[in-house]
Amino acid sequence: MNLSKRIVAAFAALAVAGVAYASDAYTARHEAMEKVGGGMGTLSAMAKKETPFDAAVVQATAKMQEAELKKAAAQFLPDTAGGKSRAKAEIWTNRADFDALMQKTAEALVALQGVKDEAALMPALRAAGGSCRTCHDKYRLPE
């Protein structure tokens, strides 16, 4: 390979790596968020009394959600907006606010893990879900 071909190849490799970096981050956080949402489905069915109350399921589900939320939060890497992602550019310009909302949501999910009786489930779930809404309202584009 002569020099100019090598330069072109190097740029092409960099471009591929860049796209892979953005799409890996998107895929990782998207999948993690889908799991958080799946947990909401399980717990809201229980809160609506469509399924029987089970404190152990509440605890395990909210623990899983907390872990997945933290995984997702770590994947909002610089320059990974655009494409299929609905992440707003403001995430990166208001990073401290975004991180604080993520932290608040994680704390609400920790509180949800401590629910021991049926009456406490609905308010704890709505607090956590309301926290999801605040962040989606500010930082997620419409479909």
Partner 1 sequence: MSRGRRFLAALATLGVAGAAAFLLLTRPASLAEGAVPNHVADLRNGEVMYHAGSCVACHRAAEGGPGADRGLPAGGFAFPTPVGRFYPQNLTPDPETGLGRWSERDFVAAMTLGVSPAGRHYFPAFPYAAYRSMTKADLLDLFAYLKSLPAVKAPARPHELPLLPLAQRGVGLWKQLALRAEPWAPPPGRSASWTRGAYLANAPGHCGECHTPKDWAMVADESRHMAGGPHPAGEGKVPSLRGLLAAKKYKDVADLALALSAGEELGYENLSSGGMAAIQQNLARLPDSDLQAIAEYLLSLE
Q: Which of 41, 78, 82, 83 binds partner 1 (CB under 8 A)?
A: 41
Q: How far is the CB of 126 from partner 1 (least distance, A)?
A: 4
Closest approach, Cβ 128 to partner 1, in A, equals 8
Q: Which is nearer to partner 1, 27 or 134 (CB)?
A: 134
Does 104 participate in binding partner 1 (rule CB under 8 A)? no
Q: Is 54 helix (H, G, I), strand (E, B) or coil?
A: coil
Instruction: Confirm if 84 and 27 have CB atoms less than 8 A apart.
Output: no
Residue closer to partner 1, measured from CB, 77 or 127: 127
Residue 138 CA neighbour count, 13 Å, CB half: 17
- Binding status of residue 47 toward partner 1 by CB under 8 A: yes
| Sign of the alpha-carbon dihedral angle for 93, 97, 100, 104 | negative
125 binds partner 1 (CB under 8 A): yes
Q: How far, in Å, CA of 107 to CA of 100, rounded?
A: 11
Q: By the 8 A CB rule, do 111 and 84 touch?
A: no
Of the ranges 7-15, 35-43, 52-60, 98-106, which one interacts with partner 1 (CB under 8 A)? 35-43
CB closer to partner 1, 25 vs 125: 125
Identify the three-state secondary structure at position 74. coil
Within a 10 A sphere around the Cβ of 54, how many other Cβ atoms? 12
Give the interface with partner 1 as residue ranges (CB under 8 A). Answer: 37, 40-41, 43-44, 47-48, 86, 125-127, 129-130, 132-134, 136-137, 140-143
